[in-house]
Amino acid sequence: MTKTEQLILTLSDIKALYRSDSLPRHWWQGWLCHVLDQPSSFLITHDDHVLTPKQRQLFDEGIAKMRQGVPLAYLTGEQAFFGRIFAVNEHTLIPRPDTERLIEVVLDWAAKSPLDAGYILDLGTGSGCIAITLAKELPSWQVLAVDFSDEALKVANDNAKRLSANHCQFARSDWFENIEGAFDVIVSNPPYIAQDDEHLATLVAEPITALVAKDDGLYDIEIIASQAQRFLNKDGLLAVEHGYDQGMSVRQIFDKYGYDDIKTIQDYGGNDRLTVGVRGVSR
Ligand SMILES: C[S@@+](CC[C@H](N)C(=O)[O-])C[C@H]1O[C@@H](n2cnc3c(N)ncnc32)[C@H](O)[C@@H]1O
């Protein structure tokens, strides 16, 4: 018998039961708000509220899935990113707050560049969170976003329609395979977790092809860095997210392929999170 199948009637009872539960508090509370279709303040202001039998059943089913490792975002089907809500499913990575740093860096670069408008390529778009956010924040720019997963591209397309990101196009491509044209910015949050990384055990629900890369997690970053120069305009920017311990390796990769002004930038936790470089003169 699950916790709420016992004689639980009010939100106050549920809060008391889950207070010291091993599930992260924001998971069960977020799920409860979703089931109730109420904001989080409702849990504070409505202690005496009683769940309907259907809500109790839904709540319990979600809690059981969470205990098997299904993240809250896959249960609710959505995740906030840079102030917008993105639909997600089991075919897409759940957008991470760390990736918002990548957005800030590109926006900062665009603000300082002499360009009034430009062309951005997002490699491995997943839910479309990077491409759509950049398209919304830079309304005079065009964005092309690719992924090799048709299922992910469907989610990204739906997100673009719902968020009215009209100047954001999507295409299926294995990295640069189907890409034509020249870009002012190439951005990517590629798979970068090493195959033997211990953190993988906690990421059981997300698509493994979105997360893991060979060569200690650097395989896809090297492919992207080696080919991006050919698709960048003069002074164009390559910005790639990576693991907290990969900064030096990624700088070496960028250097090997002739980028200029290479630097690694930290996230708000102080960890190395992305490396940028601009197209070198020789490519
Ligand atoms: C770490 S996820 C990032 C998703 C999204 N951009 C984000 O930041 O949440 C990496 C994405 O790259 C895609 N991907 C992996 N290998 C690829 C390849 N060879 N060509 C194109 N996309 C690829 C995956 O399907 C996945 O959507």
3-state SS of the chain is CCHHHCCCCEHHHHHHHHCCCCCCHHHHHHHHHHHHCCCCHHHHHCCCCECCHHHHHHHHHHHHHHHCCCCHHHHHCEEEECCEEEECCCCCCCCCCCHHHHHHHHHHHHHHCCCCCCEEEEECCCCCHHHHHHHHHCCCCEEEEEECCHHHHHHHHHHHHHCCCCCEEEEECCCCCCCCCCEEEEEECCCCEECCCHHHHHCCCCCHHHHEECHHHCHHHHHHHHHHHHHEEEEEEEEEECCCCCHHHHHHHHHHCCCEEEEEEECCCCCEEEEEEECCCCC
Q: What is the pLDDT along the chain (283 residues), one digit of tens a residue?
A: 566 555 667 899 999 989 888 998 999 999 999 999 999 999 999 999 999 999 999 999 999 999 998 999 999 999 999 999 999 999 999 999 999 999 999 999 999 999 999 999 999 999 999 999 999 999 999 999 999 999 999 999 999 999 999 999 999 999 999 999 999 999 999 999 999 998 888 887 888 998 999 999 999 999 999 999 999 999 999 999 999 999 999 999 999 999 999 999 999 999 999 999 999 775 5
What is the reported pLDDT for 166? 92
Question: Domain span at residue 40?
Answer: 3-76
The per-residue b/e assignment along 127-146, b for 16 or more CB within 10 angstroms, e otherwise, is bbbbbbbbbbebeebbbbbb
Neighbouring residues of 160: CB distance < 8 A, sequence distance ≥ 6: 128, 131, 132, 135, 166, 168, 170
133 lines ligand 1 (CB under 6 A): no
Residues 163 and 200 in one domain: yes
Q: Are 15 and 3 in contact (CB under 8 A)?
A: no
Q: Nearest C-alpha to atom 20 of ligand 1 is from which residue?
A: 174
* In-domain check, residue 82: no
95 lines ligand 1 (CB under 6 A): yes
Token pair listed for 264: 């690694």
Residues 17 and 129 in one domain: no
Tell which one of 98, 125, 176, 206 to mutate to probe ligand 1, the residue whose CB is within 8 A of the most ligand atoms.
125
Please give the tally of structural domains in the chain.
2
The residues, any chain, with a CB within 8 Å of residue 272's CB and separated by 6 or more, are 242, 243, 244, 245, 246, 247, 264, 265, 266
Same-domain check for residues 97 and 33: no
Closest residue CA from atom 15 of ligand 1? 210
User: Does 65 share its domain with 122?
Assistant: no
- pLDDT on residue 176: 98
Indicate the residue among 76, 98, 131 that finishes a domain. 76
Q: Establish whether residue 8 lines the binding site of ligand 1, counting it when its CB lies within 6 angstroms of any ligand atom.
A: no
276's tokens: 């940028």
Question: Is residue 222 in a domain?
Answer: yes
Residues 134 and 204 in one domain: yes
Residue 283 included in any domain: no
Do residues 63 and 200 both lie within one domain?
no
Q: Does 68 share its domain with 149? A: no
pLDDT at 148: 97
Task: Say if residue 12 is in the same domain as residue 60.
Answer: yes
Which atom of ligand 1 sits closest to the CA of residue 92? Answer: 27
CATH code of the domain containing 208: 3.40.50.150
Which residues 6+ apart lie within 8 Å of 21 measured at CB? 28
